[in-house]
Structures are given as structure tokens and as C-alpha cells.
Amino acid sequence: MPAETVTVQLGNRSYPVRIGAGVRQEALAEARKRVDAGQKCAAITSPAVAAAQSDFVESLGKLMPVLVTAQDGETAKSGAELGRIWDFLAGNGIARDGAVFAFGGGVIGDLAGFAAASYLRGLDFYQIPTTLLAMVDSSVGGKTGINLVAGKNLVGSFHQPTAVWADTDLLATLPPREFAAGMAEVIKHGLIADAELFGLLEQNAPLHWNHALLPSVIRRCVEIKAEVVAGDERETSAQGGRALLNLGHTFGHAVEATAGYGNYLHGEAVAIGLVMAANLSADLKHCTAAQAEAVEAVIRAHQLPTRLRTALPLDKMLAAMRRDKKVRGGKLRFVLQDGIGAASTADDVPEELAIRALERGGASR
């Protein structure tokens, strides 16, 4: 199947998302073109990706210096690691006409993207995502940032990439748990914008990295995200807009922050959050109980958790949710699913119903 392109339409900052087997070679060609023009570039990757994709990292290394983060996972999205990247860019003489290439999953994209956004007040930035989650979600849209102890992604910047290359061949070395985590974001896209996609996921569970449907599924998710981002790039819409992409994330980020970063993969926490959001939506009559049960069933069918493995303190989860970026006027703001294939935002959710959803998911008083 030939590579396909989805364009994120942002005027003179529009950029292509290339999807298909082997498209990472196009990223190398772009890097070579810039280096040949005298522009110094740098690449950021992680230990696991450097080990699994050593040949490509070696190819990048022939064109530019490569920094491997000190660790894998969410704990790498820290102020210390960000400072290390800044020093790396400065030490290698990266100038304003240079660029940063992020080769990894969502953590590397967020971290390297924020480094590119902030170093010299902004460098060009390219994404070469290596995980399903990054391909369908985090590599598109320009959200970059790091975590604080207080919460997920509380420090960051909107900084759109110059191009994204989603090479499906890279998924061959992705551990099954990581692949499943990416499916949580795929399911989310179906829930907020495409009932047909959700139905396809129900009928073909579980997908795997070389499933014939996967390239078209990735493309559809990118199309959905690109359309939402084009309409509300900086998440400023009073209702709906880019916030809809956070279905399940208010709960999911609370899971991550309370359990400690790394105990749940981001996609696993989102999967639990999607079930909590579905139950909350059913309680508020935004969807039926049967539709909430369908969400839980499709998440389970794609080998994802539907509730906490061990109980987490309810008060700490609520505190984490109150620090969520979507809080406005001191009120928790939730994304609710409206049936299957649509969603809406709400800031008038009774706290007792949010608590009920948390307790059904395994939180304890």
C-alpha cells in the first residue's frame, strides 16, 4: 500500500503527516537536505528506541548529533531532562536555522518538541513517531511539554512540527503492551468523531501491528485530529473544540499522577479514564448504559485495563483532577461522550457523579 498524506491545515504553518511503510527514509532525506545546506540539526531518542531501531539511529547519527534520554517512559518528561537537551543543543552549536528531529514515542515527541519550542525561542521540529499512540495522536497537533509532580503536562508550549512521518514498519518492534496502549487513543477517536470507526474496532479486535486495516485506521485518526486542531489549535473554544480530544484524559491523567508516572502507560490510564467517562456520561444521560458497556467491552477486547489494578486514594485523584489544565473558574471540566461518535464538554457535572465514576473504576475513600 503506497504512503498517504494528511495535511494539518494551519495556513502558512500547515504541514504534512506522511503515513506508510518506509516513510522514515523521507525524514532522512529531509535531514540530509538541511545538513547539506549548512544547517545544523540534532536528534532526540530514548534508550529503548535506540536499541530497537539501532540502524536508523545510526543513519541519523551520520548526519547530526543524537541525544539518548537518560531513561524511558513518562519520568523522562522532566525539567532535568529538558535542561539536558538544552545544554546538548547549545553544546553542538545548533542555531536558529537548525532543527530538532524527535525519534520515539509520545514522551520523546513532547519532550523534544518543548525543547525545540523554547531553545533560541523556537526551532523547526520534526516528528518520527515510533509508537501507535504517537502516530495516531501525540505527534500531530503541536502540544509539547513536560510533567510536574503536581500533574501531567502542566508545563509546555504549542509548537507545531514542520512534518510528521508515521512509518508503520516501526511498529514491528513495538512491545504488545505499548501497541495496546496506542489503541486506547484509536478507540477515543472513534468515540468522539466516528461511530463507523468504533464499529470497525468492535468487529476486528484486537488489531495488531501488521493488520491489513491498521494503515487506514491510523489515517482516519490523523484526519480526525487534524480537523479538530485546524479548528481550535490552542484549545480556546468555550465549548467543544480541541478539548474533545481529551475524552477520558481528566480521569486518566489523575490515574497517572496518583499512581506515579510509569506505573501505568499513558494509554492504559486513558483506557481506564474512557470507561470512567463512559459511566459518567451514562449517569448524565449523554449516552445509554448499553453504549457505556460497549466502550468497556471494546477496550477489554483490545487488551487494555478497564479499571485500576489496585485501589488509589479517592481524595488524591480528585486533587489531581482539580489541577487539570481544563479546569476553568475553579470548576472541573469534563468531556462526555454523546452516544457513540460524538462528544461535548461540560463544566456543570455534580462532583458526586464524578466520585461515583472514580469509585466504579477502583478508587477508594
Q: How confident is the model at residue 239 (pLDDT cuts 50, 70, 90)?
A: confident
Active site residue 188: no
pLDDT in tens, 136-175: 999 999 999 999 988 889 999 999 999 999 999 999 999 9
Instruction: Spot the catalytic one: 12, 121, 285, 352.
Output: 121
In the residue annotation, 143 being an active-site residue is answered as: yes
User: Could you say which of 81, 178, 185, 268 is catalytic?
Assistant: 185
CA–CA dist 335, 244 (Å, integer): 6
Task: Inform me whether the pLDDT recorded for 59 exceeds 90.
Answer: yes
Q: Which of 81, 235, 256, 268 is catalytic?
A: 235
Query: Cβ contacts of residue 121 below 8 Å, gap of 6+?
Result: none
Strand runs labelled E in 32-97: 41-45, 66-68
**Is residue 249 flagged as an active site residue?**
yes
Strand ranges (DSSP E) for the chain? 4-8, 15-20, 41-45, 66-68, 99-104, 124-129, 143-148, 151-158, 163-167, 312-313, 334-337, 343-346, 363-364
Span 61-80, pLDDT tens digits: 999 999 999 999 999 999 99
Mean pLDDT, residues 174-201 taken together: 98
Question: What are the cell numbers at 170?
Answer: 516501526
Reply yes or no on whether 235 is catalytic. yes
Model confidence over 1-24: pLDDT tens digits? 789 999 999 999 999 999 999 999
Mean pLDDT of the chain: 96
For residue 222, name the pLDDT band (cuts at 50, 70, 90). Answer: very high
Model confidence band, residue 313 (pLDDT cutoffs 50, 70, 90): very high
Q: What is the 3-state secondary structure (H, E, C) of 91-128?
A: HCCCCCCCEEEEEECHHHHHHHHHHHHHHHHCCEEEEE
d(CA 352, CA 155): 30
Q: Are 145 and 158 in contact (CB under 8 A)?
A: no
The full set of domains in the chain, from first to last, is: 4-173 (3.40.50.1970), 176-364 (1.20.1090.10)
Distance of CA 125 to the CA centre of its chain: 17
Catalytic residue among 34, 246, 325, 326: 246
Rounded distance, CA 16 to CA 165, Å?
8
For residues 273 and 295, what is the distance between their CA atoms, to the nearest angstrom? 11
- Any catalytic annotation for residue 266? yes
Q: Is the peptide bond before 206 cis (omega within 30 degrees of 0)?
A: yes
Pairing of β 66-68 and β 41-45: parallel
Report residue 324's pLDDT band, with 50, 70 and 90 as the boundaries.
confident
Q: How many Å apart are CA 295 and CA 301, to the nearest integer?
A: 10
Assess whether 302 carries a catalytic annotation: no
pLDDT for 139 equals 98
* Whether this model's pTM surpasses 0.75: yes
- pLDDT for residue 61: 98
- Catalytic residue, chosen from 188, 253, 286, 302, is 253
What does the pLDDT read at residue 323?
84
Alpha carbon distance 100, 60 (integer Å): 11
Task: Give the three cell numbers for residue 288.
Answer: 445509554
**pLDDT (mean) for 29-46:** 98
Catalytic pick among 18, 24, 159, 242: 242
The pLDDT > 70 percentage for the chain reads 98
185 is catalytic: yes
End-to-end alpha carbon distance in the chain: 52
Q: Pick the catalytic residue from 249, 325, 326, 333.
A: 249
| pLDDT attached to residue 196 | 98
Which pLDDT score is estimated for 277? 98
Q: Supply the pLDDT for residue 95.
A: 98
Cell of 339: 452516544
**Residue 352: predicted pLDDT:** 95
Work out the pLDDT band at 321, boundaries 50, 70, 90.
very high
pLDDT tens digits for range 329-349? 677 889 999 999 999 999 889
Average pLDDT over residues 242-259: 95
Question: How many other C-beta atoms are found inside a 10 Å radius of the C-beta of residue 176?
Answer: 11
Maximum alpha-carbon separation in the chain: 61
Q: How far apart are CA 268 and CA 270, in angstroms?
A: 5
Residue 246 known to be catalytic: yes
Q: Catalytic residue among 266, 286, 326, 333, which?
A: 266
Question: Residue range 118-147: average pLDDT?
Answer: 97
